[in-house]
Amino acid sequence: MFEPLLTGHNITAVLVGVLTFLLFVIFRVRKPAGYPPGPPGWPVLGNLPSLARNAHLQLTAWRGTYGDVFSVKMGLQDAVVVSGMDAIREALVRKAEHFSSRPDLFLMRRNNHRNGN
């Protein structure tokens, strides 16, 4: 029954995929010192599966767990969530020079170049 699936090339591809996945999980990139805490995420997907439905409720629950400033993984991209009036005021008013630019996102660059901007 499984003989056609277990050819030499298929077994090699499956083993390489499993090994790559395990290495990614074992040696995933650690957060730098001082980086906000956050929920653990899936390899490659990050926290996106948890945010698929009712993202606002999940973010509110994480705020209760991790505080007003926490981090999430949006796929391979890190994001810092700031909530609560005092934390937002500190980020946007008192430390405005740190938060005044936009992140460098691949999809935004791609769309801007395609539209001639």
From residue 106, give the alpha-carbon distance in Å to each of 6, 24, 87, 112, 114. 38, 22, 28, 10, 12
Report the SS3 class of residue 45: coil
* pLDDT given at position 33: 83
Q: Which residues contact 102 (CB under 8 A, 6 or more apart)?
A: 108
pTM of the model: 0.64
DSSP codes joined into one string, 10-64: HHHHHHHHHHHHHHHHHTPPPPPTTPPP----BTTTBTHHHHSS-HHHHHHHHHH
Mean pLDDT in the chain? 81
pLDDT higher than 70, residue 112: no
Query: pLDDT band at residue 114, thresholds of 50, 70 and 90?
Result: low
Query: pLDDT band at residue 81, thresholds of 50, 70 and 90?
Result: very high
User: How far is it, in rounded angstroms, from Cα 113 to Cα 26?
Assistant: 37
In the predicted model, what is the mean pLDDT of residues 67-89?
91
Q: What is the pLDDT of residues 26-73, one digit of tens each?
A: 666 667 788 899 998 887 788 999 998 899 999 999 999 999 999 998
* pLDDT given at position 67: 94
